[in-house]
Amino acid sequence: MFATSIAILVIGMLTTMQRNPGMTWADSKNNILTVAAVLGLLPASRSLISTIMFVKGKKYTCPDKLHQSICELQKEQAVPVICYDLYFTSYDKTYPVYVMAATENELLGLLADKADVNKAQEHIKEALQKDGQKYVTVKLYQEQEKFLERIEAAVASNASATEQGVQKAKATAHMEVMLQISL
């Protein structure tokens, strides 16, 4: 993307210099293709930032053993809506989450790092409240066993989020907010 923008800039400068003999390189940048090249740098810069964040967050992917445990649980029971490898960012901190499960009135997550659980929960609650979802409990865990036990308990007490369409719709709405605020 950067190469395309640079090529457009150079082509514009060369074309302007050919039409006006004796023009310097500095003067030849005053053309419409220079504007196009600068505007082309905006999506290129955004892609570069995303690439840097994905490279940085790659070490926070869900371990295979945990993924297999959740898949086995999904085969046995109707597990709520689940997303993997979320990377939440706030103004002062990042919160990598291996896996997050959503039920009708609860969000459960397993933090990938020794991050501050309370701050991460508050960040997620604020995002949900901004979306109008005020009565959602957010629980983040740092131990895999406790997280898996809580998912099993949530499934049992929630009468299965896939059996009733309203419950699944609410769980999906919670997870959509999580996907909007994560990388």
Q: What is the pLDDT along the chain (183 residues), one digit of tens a residue?
A: 999 999 999 999 899 888 888 888 778 888 889 999 999 999 999 999 888 877 876 777 788 888 888 888 777 666 678 888 888 888 888 888 999 988 888 899 999 877 788 999 999 999 999 988 888 899 999 998 999 888 888 777 665 444 556 677 888 888 898 988 887
Tell how far CA 144 is from the center of its chain: 22
Q: Which of 153, 114, 167, 118 is nearest to 139 (CA)?
A: 118
**34/43 Cα distance (integer angstroms):** 16
Delimit the domains of the chain by residue range: 2-58, 61-181
Candidates 60, 69, 47; CA nearest to 147 is 69
Q: What pLDDT score does 57 carry?
A: 67
In angstroms, rounded to a whole number, what is the distance separating the alpha carbons of residues 19 and 138?
A: 65
User: What is this structure's pTM?
Assistant: 0.67
Which of 156, 181, 180 is CA-nearest to residue 106?
Answer: 156
> Which tokens is 85 given?
């490898």
